[in-house]
């Protein structure tokens, strides 16, 4: 993470974490009254998205830290709970929706961890099975160089028996996780793709081999694992390439320790296409056979998605017949044709994932 300037909201100037981050970063800093001043500095740059990846804004979250996954009624949602502690990412994936989700996008980090932990305590006191993740609006581990939030969260989740924390990343920033007492209540997860897509479309991310080696180390340290093939991108030879990724995956880790594997085909709101064409003129991913789905996102034609899902699922099953595989944001028809069942046939997708989390992460029955 290359931070060129730090902005600090005046209201948290004396917060211990703000002072600590400022000292660790040692970059030019400026105190501001509100986010508008930061947004103005980013918006005036020739490439606001790139500028936003190099500017960090420290502030206080005055809203809720917990949010439900922003799914849609048109597709099956996994009922994921999001722990919202910061926004945006320094990595530069061509397809990233965060390029248009925030206006303008900036690296923003909430320093009021005391409020976050208090809200977390209230949520966990409910003693219901929860799957909570931090990788929706940012990468879970990019902040590890100068914060200790993962340590706080992992140790808090380890002290209870009903919920799991998923840390999802495209990095190898796992060193701080090694000696923590996680009690198998934290799942370390990686987004995976083919080497070609990582090289051309996932810039400034860790190589595939590095991600898998990091996963193997976390398994050695006792962490449950998860993997997300999202987005799957169709190109000539992609089926064989994804098969090689799966072969490599199971040569690094054991199937018994995997909580779930998700599959999701490339999809994007129309505004992202314009950003990709401008920022990544060499990228070809937006020039495939797409159709606008009920949620307004551009998607591959359904037969193309189903065909790719079937082949990847068959490859996974050859290595791990019992591992839980699910589709991200697809309808019942795609589920039936790709997996052979609909989520409602087994009590719904949330139930399916809850049961897997209970088995792999040793959750206490309710």
Taking only the tens place, the pLDDT of each residue in 125-147 is 987 888 999 988 999 999 998 89
- CA distances 317 to 196, 282, 287, 323, Å, are 24, 35, 31, 8
Q: What is the pLDDT of residues 269-327, one digit of tens each?
A: 999 999 999 999 999 999 999 999 999 999 999 999 999 999 999 999 999 999 999 99
Q: What is the mean pLDDT of residues 178-192?
A: 98
Q: According to the model, what pLDDT value does residue 206 have?
A: 98
Domain regions of the chain by residue span: 1-59, 61-103+110-360
Tokens of 201: 């479309």
pLDDT confidence tier of residue 182, bands split at 50, 70 and 90: very high
From CA 316, how far away is CA 343, in angstroms rounded? 19
Q: What is the pLDDT of residues 108-119, one digit of tens each?
A: 999 999 999 999
From CA 211, how far away is CA 184, in angstroms rounded? 20
Model confidence at 205: pLDDT above 80: yes
Question: Mean pLDDT over all residues of the chain?
Answer: 94
Range 61-103+110-360 has CATH code 3.80.30.30: yes
Model confidence at 103: pLDDT above 90: no
Tokens of 51: 């500028």
Tokens of 169: 């990343």
């Amino acid at each position: 993470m290359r931070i060129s300037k730090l902005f600090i909201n005046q209201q948290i100037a004396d917060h211990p974490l703000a002072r600590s981050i400022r000292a660790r970063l040692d970059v030019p800093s400026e105190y501001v009254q509100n986010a508008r001043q930061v947004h103005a500095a980013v918006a005036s740059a020739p490439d606001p998205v790139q500028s936003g990846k190099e500017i960090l804004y420290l502030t206080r979250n005055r809203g809720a830290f917990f949010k439900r996954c922003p799914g849609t009624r048109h597709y099956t949602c996994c009922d994921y709970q999001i722990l919202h502690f910061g926004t945006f990412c320094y990595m530069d994936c061509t397809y990233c929706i965060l390029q248009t989700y925030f206006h303008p996008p900036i690296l923003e980090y909430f320093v009021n961890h005391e409020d976050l932990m208090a809200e977390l305590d209230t949520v966990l006191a409910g003693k219901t099975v929860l799957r909570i993740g931090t990788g929706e609006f940012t990468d879970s581990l990019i902040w590890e160089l100068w914060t200790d939030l993962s340590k706080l969260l992992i140790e808090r989740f380890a002290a209870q028996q009903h919920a799991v924390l998923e840390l999802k990343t495209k990095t190898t920033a796992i060193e701080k996780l090694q000696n923590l007492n996680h009690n198998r209540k934290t799942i370390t997860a990686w987004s995976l793709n083919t080497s070609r897509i990582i090289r051309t479309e996932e810039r400034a991310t860790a190589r595939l081999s590095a991600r898998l080696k990091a996963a193997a180390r976390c398994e050695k340290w006792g962490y449950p694992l998860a993997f997300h093939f999202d987005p799957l991108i169709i190109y000539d030879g992609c089926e064989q390439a994804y098969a090689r990724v799966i072969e490599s995956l199971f040569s690094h880790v054991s199937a018994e320790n995997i909580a779930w594997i998700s599959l999701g085909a490339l999809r994007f709101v129309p505004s992202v296409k314009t950003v990709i064409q401008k920022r990544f003129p060499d990228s070809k991913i937006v020039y495939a056979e797409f159709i606008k789905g009920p949620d307004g996102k551009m998607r591959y034609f359904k037969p193309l998605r189903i065909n790719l899902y079937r082949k990847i699922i068959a490859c996974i099953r050859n290595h791990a017949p019992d591992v839980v595989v699910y589709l991200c944001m697809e309808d019942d028809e795609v589920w039936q044709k790709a997996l052979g069942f609909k989520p409602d046939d087994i009590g719904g997708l949330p139930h399916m994932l809850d049961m897997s989390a209970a088995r792999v992460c040793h959750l206490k029955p309710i």
